Structure 1
Amino acid sequence: MKSLSNITNENIKDQLNEYHLMVSEILTGIDTEVTALKNGQLKVDRRLDDLDPAVLQTKIEIAGIKESLRILEKEVVSLMAKVDQLKEFAENGFNLVLRRING
């Protein structure tokens, strides 16, 4: 521990200057990092702007594909219902024919 006789206004002033320099360096480093982050964000935004038309076109294409799939799904359901009707009609027809043959 320093003795009180070694503490002078000059020592205190030097120590305060040293702390101010340290804080200044830390804040400069933080400012540099913040600036780098802002620049990085700008680069990302520019890239997104470049990609945006392509992304929009892809979304439109995907929406079209989804609509086509919905239409196909409805058609398949409709065809399945028709197949069921035809199966029932055929079974009834065969049953009628068999009854006439056996009857």
Structure 2
Amino acid sequence: MPDHLARLDEEHRAASDQLMALRPDFDGIVAASADSNADDEHDPEGSTVAFERSQVGALIEQAELRMVEIESARERVLSGTYGVCERCGQAIPAARLDARPIARTCVDCA
């Protein structure tokens, strides 16, 4: 039986590393635009700054959500329900769990 907790720990570290890299980028973008009197709507560089802030913000949200999903998967491992489809109750194939360790459903129910 594969060590699901170890795999989920790896996923958690990767998401955490991503957050640690993205947060300073986001803070830097916000700080740079705060010191500027640039108007996103009328400044030729403004839309680029707004786009970058939006992109990095979305990546942060995705990484935070992934960490929540990883914690939920860890709870399923500990409760003995990891690898069981939440919709139909059938086993989630190992290949799906290898590709997506946070999967809650089998391929048919996804």
* Greater share of residues in helix: 1
Question: Which protein is bigger by CA-based radius of gyration?
Answer: 1
What is the TM-score with the length of structure 1 in the denominator?
0.35
Greater relative contact order (Cα < 8 A, sep 6+) = 2
